[in-house]
Amino acid sequence: MENHTGFLGGNLSAEAGKNGKRAAMACAVLTCGAVLLAGCGAAPVSSNVSVPSSIQVTNVENQVISVNAREEVKVVPDMAELELSVTTEEADAAACQTANSEAVDKVVAAITAKGIGEESIQTSSYNLNPIYDWENGRTITGYSMDTSITVSDVPVDVVGEVISVSVGAGANSIQSVTYMSSKYDESYQEALAKAVESAYAKANAMAIAGGCSLGDVVKIEEHTTNSQARYTAVTNMSARDGAMAVPEAAEGAAVMPGQVSVVADILVEYAVNR
């Protein structure tokens, strides 16, 4: 009985030892796997990988053809705007201002005598500056005053006469003559219509070349143009220092208004049929 008991106890001890080794090996394998997994999870993401903030999807069923068109209409101007100035020089500032005001009054009177209303005459700039003698230590030797006048709503057929009487009354500089048309809006509508026709012709040619046909108009945009661009004919002349003699100007300055361009610029998008 004792021998059997000892034998049984020895077997149990041996079996327990084997089981302990198996458990230790399993634990080691699990630990190694955990370390490998932890290493994989800790792998840094490359900083060179970029993620787009948005994705654009194009619907091929709604493709369009976009074209720009620019057309112009020439029109004979019937109105004009003049910019002229009166410059005076005196030894005293107050005397210079007085002389300049008197000369400007004479010019305005001469212009209104030609049928231009005072509401169409505006003082656009007014400058009084000292005159220096730079060779003697910047000594003030006198004063110069310049008053610029803008005359609007001048019929084209009296532009030459208005220039002449202005110079005769004391204006000694004509900065510009700007021509315009009172029918600008009508001409602009015509230019727009021509631009739409031109856009269609261009888009249709592109569609045919691409093996498709034009559908309906998707969008039309009118490009805003500078309001001053409509008045393209500008003449500059000067009567300063006797460049234009008053006796010759008295007969009427020669002006040729020519034509002005009225421009329409648009963008048109057409649907494409395949």
Q: Along the 274 residues of the chain, how does pLDDT read in single tens digits? A: 444 444 434 443 444 444 555 544 444 444 444 433 444 444 444 455 454 554 444 454 568 999 999 999 988 888 899 999 999 999 999 999 999 999 999 999 999 999 999 999 999 999 999 999 888 778 999 999 999 999 998 999 999 999 999 999 999 999 999 888 888 888 899 999 999 999 999 999 999 999 999 999 999 999 876 554 354 333 444 444 433 333 344 456 777 788 888 889 999 999 999 8
Residue 128: CA count within 13 A, CB half-sphere: 14
Mark whether 85 and 10 lie in a shared domain. no
Mark whether 90 and 30 lie in a shared domain. no
CATH number at residue 245: 3.30.70.2970
With 0-12 CB in 10 A as exposed, 13-18 as middle and 19+ as buried, what is 168?
A: middle
In a domain, 114, yes or no: yes
Check: pTM over 0.85? Answer yes or no. Answer: no
Query: What range does the domain containing 20 cover?
Result: 1-36
Mark whether 4 and 112 lie in a shared domain. no
Q: What does residue 65 show for φ and ψ, rounded to 5 degrees?
A: -115, 125
C-beta separation of 262 from 195 below 8 A? no
In a domain, 260, yes or no: no
Mark whether 21 and 109 lie in a shared domain. no
In a domain, 166, yes or no: yes
Mark whether 116 and 245 lie in a shared domain. yes
Mark whether 110 and 241 lie in a shared domain. yes
In a domain, 160, yes or no: yes
In a domain, 208, yes or no: no
Q: At which residue do the structure tokens 């019929």 appear?
A: 155
99: three-class secondary structure by DSSP: helix
pLDDT at 134: 87
Task: Quote the DSSP letter at residue 200.
Answer: H
With 0-12 CB in 10 A as exposed, 13-18 as middle and 19+ as buried, what is 270?
A: buried
In a domain, 222, yes or no: no
pLDDT at 62: 64
Mark whether 19 and 83 lie in a shared domain. no
In a domain, 137, yes or no: yes
pLDDT at 34: 41
Mark whether 88 and 25 lie in a shared domain. no
Helix (H) or strand (E) run with residue 236 in it: strand 234-237
In a domain, 262, yes or no: no
The total of structural domains in the chain comes to 2
Mark whether 142 and 241 lie in a shared domain. yes
Give dist(CA 271, CA 63) in Å, integer: 6
Mark whether 83 and 28 lie in a shared domain. no
Mark whether 98 and 165 lie in a shared domain. yes
Mark whether 84 and 24 lie in a shared domain. no
Give dist(CA 261, CA 231) in Å, integer: 7
